[in-house]
Amino acid sequence: MSRIDEILNIADHIPPFPKVAMQVMKMLEDPEVHTKDLAETIQYDSAITANLIKTCNAAYFGLSRKISSLDEALVLIGHAALKDIIIASSSARFYKGEAGGGYQLEQGDLWKHSVATAIMAKSISRHFKGVEPGTAFTVGLLHDIGKRFLSSFVASDFKKIMDRTYNDGLSFMEAEHEILGMDHAELGSMILQKWDFPEEMVLAVKLHHDPKALDKDPLTALLALANTLVISLGVGVGADGLSGAMQGEGLKRFKISARDLDQYMMNLLLEMEKAEEMMTLSK
Amino acid sequence: MKQIVGISDMKIANKPDEELVTYSLGSCIGVALWDPIVKVGALLHYMLPDSNIDKEKAEMKPFMFADTGVPRMFKEIYKLGAVKERMKVYVVGGAQVMDDSGLFNIGKRNQMIIQKMFFKNNVAITKEDVGGTVNRTITLHVGTGQVKLKTSGRGEVDL
């Protein structure tokens, strides 16, 4: 089997996104949904339930008292926050252990990078007309899922990839694409498609390293910006470093200035401190 | 013993077996100081050049910004007997993604402010490794003053 076939084969056999999460997201489309029905659905997945209770207590979600049961959580947490928490609680399972090791990410780094990007995506979402904060959060959390599944392939060809970046000035992802026939953005978008996430998310993940991403549709631009800022801060960054271009010109369309960027970076650090419980979900 | 310096933090040590390390400097800058006589070392990891953006947060987290963090770092290390004229000074980080518009030039701005501050205050940089698109990790061995630099994708070298 050729390498690209091997990769595509893996993409075909990727475990499904937790069913419970998809069901709950659907239920939450109805603003009148009963807490009891939500609880009945969620408790089928014990990992999600445990993660949900833990995550609710992060200062990031601003609850005034400590929660110890699912029922309590569902009564106190608003639906918008609940969506974020469900997605985070369901995604964590894909980022355990050495996820991203091929990119020389330490244990937990890929998850940390993903949560940071989700938080950043949500906080900049007000600049991007028509993008729901919850959608921004979700796409931030899942944008690098391709790394999780491409990691072992990157590991076996690591030297070749690095040589192309040093000797020929390719970005890490360009070299990744050239040598493996596939890059993590492309694979990630295939995975999101398979998991039935909306088309706009599939596209945003696919283009999140495109130098012209800021000129594209709002969700694509938002994700590329959030990821660029988190990478600049060095949060969960591996061998690919800050390599790659991002044409900042497109930011003007969204009325975002360099000063805004500084402010968002500063705020991210403080929000990450408040989201400690979420940061440790992949452990 | 290894002490980790987080983003927007600074640590000082003067025990010979101690190491100060800061991981994953992207556009942020790591500044290491070491006095060979009193053998005291300090390591700072600042994130942004200018605290004017939010004075209140700068009060809370002075090491987030170069203009509040660097002077404070020098003040703290002087308290442990370090002397400016004999200190070794290392500056690393300040990388950035490639962008012609200059909007993502946080790394460059972070480099420029420290050069300006050091020039004004007669501080000579012993060695630096700044710019580019790489991620850096720096370790200072307090007993020996040895500084190690690890760059994303490459190994670790003496700076």
- Which residues of chain A make contact with B95, given a CB cutoff of 8 A? 241-242
Q: Across residues A26-48, what is the average pLDDT?
A: 94
Q: Which residues are CB-neighbours of B79 under 8 A, at least 6 positions away?
A: none
Does the annotation count B42 as an active-site position? Answer: no
CA proximity to A118, closest of A271, A240, A282, A277: A271
Q: What is the DSSP string of B10-74?
A: EEEE--TT-EEEEEEESSSEEEEEEETTTTEEEEEEE-BS-GGG-HHHHHH-GGGBHHHHHHHHH
Q: Across residues B10-18, what is the average pLDDT?
A: 97
pLDDT at B8: 96
The span from the CA of A247 to the CA of B10, in Å, is 33
- Sheet with B9-13: strands ordered across: B9-13, B40-46, B29-35, B88-93, B127-130
Residue A149 CB: number of other CB atoms within 10 A?
A: 20
**Cβ <8 Å between A241 and B133:** yes
Mutation site, B25, B52, B103, B105, interface A, largest A CB count within 10 A: B103
CA proximity to B82, closest of B147, B35, B42, B123: B35
pLDDT at A174: 95
Of chain A residues 192-221, which have a CB less than 8 A from chain B? 211
Which of A6-15, A84-93, B27-36, B120-129 is the least confident region? A6-15
The span from the CA of A65 to the CA of A70, in Å, is 14
Better-scored residue on pLDDT, B124 or B154: B124
Q: Across residues A11-21, what is the average pLDDT?
A: 93
CB-based contact A235:A113 (threshold 8 Å): yes
The span from the CA of B10 to the CA of B31, in Å, is 9
Of chain A residues 224-253, which have a CB less than 8 A from chain B? 228, 231-249, 251
The span from the CA of B34 to the CA of B146, in Å, is 9
Instruction: Please pick, among B10, B13, B28, B32, the residue that the annotation labels catalytic.
Output: B28
pLDDT tens for each residue of A225-246: 999 999 999 999 999 999 889 9
Average pLDDT of the residues of chain A: 94
- Which residues of chain A make contact with B133, given a CB cutoff of 8 A? 241-244
CB-based contact A95:A151 (threshold 8 Å): no
Say whether residue A76 is in contact with chain B using an 8 A CB cutoff.
Answer: no
- Which residues of chain B make contact with A162, given a CB cutoff of 8 A? 153-154
CA proximity to A266, closest of A61, A125, A120, A128: A120
Q: Tokens representing A207? A: 């283009």
pLDDT tens for each residue of A49-105: 999 999 999 999 999 889 999 999 999 999 999 999 999 999 999 999 888 999 999
For chain A, percent of residues with pLDDT exceeding 70 = 100
**Cβ <8 Å between A262 and B106:** yes
pLDDT tens for each residue of A140-191: 999 999 999 999 999 999 999 999 998 998 999 999 999 999 999 999 999 9
pLDDT at B44: 98
- Which residues of chain A make contact with B56, given a CB cutoff of 8 A? none
Domains located in chain A, CATH noted: 3-279 (1.10.3210.10)
Q: Tell me: pLDDT of B154 over 80.
A: no
- What ipTM was estimated for this complex? 0.95
pLDDT at A132: 95
Long-range CB contacts for residues A152-160, cutoff 8 Å, separation at least 24: A152/A102, A153/A3, A153/A6, A153/A7, A153/A102, A153/A180, A154/A102, A154/A103, A154/A180, A155/A101, A155/A102, A156/A102, A158/A102, A158/A239
Looking at residue A266, its amino acid is M
- What distance in Å separates residue A146's CA from the closest CA in chain B? 19
pLDDT at A98: 84
CB-based contact B43:B22 (threshold 8 Å): yes
How does DSSP classify residue A18? P
Task: List the CATH code of the domain at B2-158.
Answer: 3.30.1330.200
pLDDT tens for each residue of B37-62: 999 999 999 999 999 999 999 999 99
The span from the CA of A156 to the CA of A135, in Å, is 34
The span from the CA of B32 to the CA of B73, in Å, is 10
Mutation site, A161, A266, A268, A274, interface B, largest B CB count within 10 A: A266
Of chain A residues 99-128, which have a CB less than 8 A from chain B? 104
pLDDT at A180: 95
pLDDT at A85: 95
pLDDT at A282: 87
CA proximity to A22, closest of A274, A197, A192: A197
Q: Tell me: pLDDT of A30 over 90.
A: yes
E strand or H helix that includes residue B157: strand B156-158
pLDDT at A194: 95
**Cβ <8 Å between B153 and A251:** no
Q: Tell me: pLDDT of A122 over 90.
A: yes
Residue B111: φ, ψ to 5°: -70, -45
Model confidence at A1, pLDDT cuts 50, 70, 90, reads confident
pLDDT at A97: 84
pLDDT tens for each residue of B75-132: 999 999 999 999 999 999 999 999 989 999 999 999 999 999 999 999 999 999 999 9
